[in-house]
Amino acid sequence: MRIGINFHITDRYISGVEYYGLGLIRALLRCDGENDYIVYTNQPVLVQEYVPSSANLRIVGVKGLNTRPARIVWEQTMLGRLASAAQLDLLHCLSYMCPVRRVSVPCVVTIHDTIALDHPGWCKKTNALYFNLLLGLAAKRALGVIAVSKSTAQSLKRNFNLVRPKVRIVYPGIDSIFKPGGDVARQREVTRRYKLPERYILYVGNIEPKKNIRAVLAVQERIRKLSPAHKLVITGARSWSARAELHKIAAGAASGDIIRTGYVRRSDLPFVYQMADVFVFPSLYEGFGFPPLEAMACGTPVVTSCRGALGETVKDAALVVEPDNIDQITQAVVSLLREPSLRQKHIRQGLERSRRFTWEKAAKQTLSVYDEVCAAGRVLRTSRSIGKSILEFL
């Protein structure tokens, strides 16, 4: 097969959806030497850095797609034409959207969540409008839909009545760089670079409504009294609709109780996880949720939310809480700080749980989807050809 992959990034701060794309491309090339891959991307240098060169890989750089409107127009007007001209057997769009007009190439689309439909108030207005207009059309136009969790698959059924066999659940993998600590020199280097405290509770992610940073800050206020040695470290560069939270973070930074690192390099992030005493992630909604599993893979005990896909992915390897219950979150964090047996139990279970999410497994399951969609595409083309012949005969 000749497989096209649509992969774009709108700014320099890449996070979960983008790392899904990079991880999957790399894994597909590792386990598949038979099919040819063409990656259409506005960041060819990044793809070349992250994905080893391969004889069956061609990277096609696309200029001028550094804004969402430009990318939308290109995806809906040019992508289908490029796929046809390249004589692709299949086109996989990695981030929610594929051409909604009929194209000659069968499409697979990965949908990470339906937050814009289920909770539009937690999205930027332009994003909510865009996804409410086009997500359903894209999901129905594609011959195959990959959902990154059961939670997302259930949302697709609820919103669009999409079910198996069209929808397949394929969990992403956790990158192998996330592992327990051992490199003391690198830990010291990362500590200096981000001015990390000796003991800290960690949050990784954007500062936005769905991430529930309000709860993280409320918990830190209580932990400051119960365990003054523990500071709160917040990583991530993006923020929006969070003026009050940013004000509290600034006040906490001024008093020395909160350290906001900004964007952490991917190569440094495992060490930030490793040195944390507890990772806390009380998100209100996640389609998958990489950070809790990354923390587990690094040997850090996790407190996370029961909402969205989080309870599904972490199971009982984390302490799972109601994200609106500050008392419950605080008690969970304190328990992991003060009870060595509970802490060790969740470290052990977290390591075991995170190992279940591998890119090799994700790639093999994705290849299975490709085979099914290509077969369905051949049947569809044959039926269309027969129908056309009948009309011409009549």
Same domain, 85 and 167: yes
Indicate whether 348 pLDDT > 70: yes
199 and 309 together in one domain: yes
Q: Is residue 32 part of a domain?
A: yes
According to DSSP, the β-strands at 36-41 and 144-147 are unpaired
Please report which helix (H) or strand (E) contains residue 251, including its range.
helix 243-255
6 with 150, same domain?
Answer: yes
DSSP string of 28-86, one letter each residue: HHHH-SSSEEEEEES-HHHHHHHS---TTEEEEE-TT--SHHHHHHHHHHTHHHHHHHT
Q: Is 199 found in the same domain as 147?
A: no
Task: Tokens for 6, please give them.
Answer: 């649509």
Domains in the chain: how many in total?
A: 2
Tell me the residue range of the domain where 41 lies: 2-173+359-393
74 shares its domain with 214 = no
Q: What residues pair up with 7 in beta bridges, in sequence order?
A: 41
In a domain, 179, yes or no: no
At 10-64, the pLDDT tens digits run 777 788 899 999 999 999 999 999 999 999 999 999 999 999 999 999 999 999 8
80: CATH: 3.40.50.2000
The answer to whether the CB of 56 falls within 8 A of the CB of 205 is: no
Same domain, 164 and 224: no
The pLDDT tens digits for 275-304 are 999 999 999 999 999 999 999 999 999 999
Q: Does residue 337 share a domain with residue 202?
A: yes
Burial classification of residue 279, based on how many CB atoms lie within 10 Å of its CB (0-12 exposed, 13-18 middle, 19 or more buried): buried
pLDDT over 60 (residue 72) = yes
Residue 178, domain member (yes or no): no
Helix or strand holding residue 377 (H, E): helix 359-393
Determine, yes or no, domain membership for 341. Answer: yes
Q: Note whether 204 and 331 are same-domain residues.
A: yes
**Cα–Cα distance, 135 to 348 (Å, whole number):** 39
Over range 153-157, report the average pLDDT: 97
- Is the alpha carbon torsion for 50, 6, 90, 363 positive or negative? positive
Residues 253 and 372 in one domain: no
Report the alpha-carbon angle 41-47-49, nearest 5.
155
Residue 154 and residue 203 in one domain = no
Same domain? For 204 and 322 the reply is: yes
Omega of the bond leading into 165 within 30 degrees of 0 (cis): yes
Q: What is the pTM of this model?
A: 0.94
Does residue 223 lie in a domain region?
Answer: yes
Sign of dihedral through CA atoms 307, 309, 310, 312? positive
pLDDT beyond 50 at 384:
yes
Looking at the structure, tell me whether residues 314 and 247 fall in a common domain. yes
